[in-house]
């Protein structure tokens, strides 16, 4: 059988990884400033993570959600206390799209409404409602286009208010910081207006923290830079450091009902163990403080590079904007300098999403390589 080829592939075959490095079959070492698309939080193959997951696999890897799983409770408590979101309930699933799908479904169940407000250039995943609220017609099939979605520009609260007044909106969904779209984000004033307008109209405010969460922005969740309290928060990527897991954090004011949401694999023993281990390591290695320190260092080091026209994002979720398309630069970084970076819908933006444990030395390596390529 052949693969269903939907991904354009770089000619690199990683076979092992450690910390901030990925190695191919010839043992060539690549500096990972991409984190496999913002997924690697605590670093590749962290010793404690590998040990904990291996031990769990020997005990029990999976059983269904029809029996007690104390690891889910442990994860919920730890996530609540580390993120400062104690007043939420946790529903576990398997991916970012699934987390958003469940968040939107919940908002629709509870409000009895179905229209959603999303924002220009958003990305929320590729499943039914998640892709419908993603601002990319190319990845929306006719079946997805049946959903009622209104896309608005970021940072125009009057337009949001006008839409909410119509009374048919179930949810507003917004990324803490846009990822795939290219690192644009709402201002604090805009987030506060959204919170107020949603509260006033009984509309659910859903913060998609799938990419911007788990410390990547320098706060546990990116919305925490703006001091708001969403009704629902979705998370995935960094949560399992590569082990597939997603989570929906649901405000305590929303009551669950048996059967309302569900999944076979979500919250299984291995996934919970991975997620608990990530939180333990984030805490013991003080990774969020580290993100802020190395992010400041990164920004200082790239400041003199005149070809960079604008820097977007926060923490270790950064976008370097040039006045030319970066596809060739990205390719040269991988093939010649052995450094992975990311791209986005904004073709002039180079995305930086390294494991949160990246060091200043590793940042120096990138800066030297980037300067060399830009000055060629």
Q: How far apart are CA 198 and CA 192, in angstroms?
A: 10
* φ/ψ of residue 140, rounded to 5: -100, 115
Q: Which of 31, 90, 93, 97 binds ligand PLP (CB under 6 A)?
A: 97
DSSP 111: H
Q: Does 236 bind ligand PLP (CB under 6 A)?
A: yes
Query: Between residue 173 and residue 232, which ones bind ligand PLP under the rule CB under 6 A?
Result: 175, 179-180, 208, 210-211
Q: Does 346 bind ligand PLP (CB under 6 A)?
A: no
Q: How far apart are CA 353 and CA 355, in angstroms?
A: 7
Query: Least distance from C-beta 168 to ligand PLP, angstroms?
Result: 24
Query: Least distance from C-beta 236 to ligand PLP, angstroms?
Result: 5
Strand order in the sheet with 149-152: 88-93, 246-251, 232-235, 204-208, 169-175, 115-119, 149-152
Q: How far apart are CA 233 and CA 274, in angstroms?
A: 20
* φ/ψ of residue 212, rounded to 5: -85, -5
Q: How far apart are CA 197 and CA 15, in angstroms?
A: 49
DSSP 188: H
Q: Which of 21, 34, 91, 123 binds ligand PLP (CB under 6 A)?
A: 123
Q: Which residues pair with 318 in a beta bridge?
A: 313, 352
Of 238 and 302, which CB lies nearer to ligand PLP in the complex structure? 238
Nearest residue to ligand PLP, using CB? Answer: 96
Of 44 and 124, which CB lies nearer to ligand PLP in the complex structure? 124
Q: Does 125 bind ligand PLP (CB under 6 A)?
A: yes
Of 215 and 370, which CB lies nearer to ligand PLP in the complex structure? 215
Query: Least distance from C-beta 222 to ligand PLP, angstroms?
Result: 10
Q: Does 69 bind ligand PLP (CB under 6 A)?
A: no
Contact footprint for ligand PLP (CB under 6 A): 37, 95-97, 100, 123-125, 175, 179-180, 208, 210-211, 236
């Amino acid at each position: 059988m052949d693969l269903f080829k939907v991904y354009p592939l770089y000619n690199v075959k990683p076979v092992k990884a450690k910390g901030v490095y990925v190695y191919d079959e010839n043992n060539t070492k690549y500096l990972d400033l991409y984190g496999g698309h913002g997924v690697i939080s605590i670093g590749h193959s962290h010793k404690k993570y590998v040990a904990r997951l291996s031990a769990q696999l020997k005990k029990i890897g999976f059983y269904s959600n029809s029996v007690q799983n104390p690891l889910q409770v442990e994860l919920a408590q730890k996530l609540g206390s580390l993120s400062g979101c104690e007043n939420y309930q946790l529903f576990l699933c398997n991916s970012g799209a699934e987390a958003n799908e469940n968040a939107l479904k919940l908002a629709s169940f509870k409000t009895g409404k179905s229209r959603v407000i999303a924002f220009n250039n958003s990305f929320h995943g590729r499943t039914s409602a998640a892709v419908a609220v993603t601002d990319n017609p190319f990845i929306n099939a006719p079946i997805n286009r049946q959903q009622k979605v209104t896309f608005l520009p970021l940072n125009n609260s009057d337009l949001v208010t006008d839409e909410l007044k119509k009374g048919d909106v179930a949810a507003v969904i917004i990324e803490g910081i846009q990822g795939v779209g290219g690192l644009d984000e709402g201002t604090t004033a805009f987030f506060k207006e959204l919170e107020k307008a949603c509260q006033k109209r009984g509309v659910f405010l859903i913060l998609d923290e799938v990419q911007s969460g788990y410390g990547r922005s320098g706060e546990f969740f990116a919305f925490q830079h703006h001091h708001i309290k969403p009704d629902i928060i979705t998370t995935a990527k960094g949560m399992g450091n590569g082990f597939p897991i997603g989570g929906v954090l649901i405000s305590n004011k929303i009551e669950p009902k048996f059967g309302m949401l569900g999944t076979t694999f979500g919250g299984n023993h291995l996934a919970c163990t991975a997620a608990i281990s990530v939180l333990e390591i984030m805490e013991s290695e003080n990774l969020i403080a580290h993100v802020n320190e190395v992010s400041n260092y990164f920004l200082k080091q790239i400041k003199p590079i005149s070809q960079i026209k604008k820097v977007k994002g926060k923490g270790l979720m950064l976008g370097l904007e040039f006045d030319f398309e970066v596809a060739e630069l990205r390719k040269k970084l991988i093939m010649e300098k052995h450094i992975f970076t990311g791209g986005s819908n904004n073709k002039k933006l180079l995305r930086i999403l390294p494991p949160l444990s990246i060091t200043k030395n590793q940042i120096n390596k990138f800066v030297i390589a980037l300067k060399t390529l830009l000055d060629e």
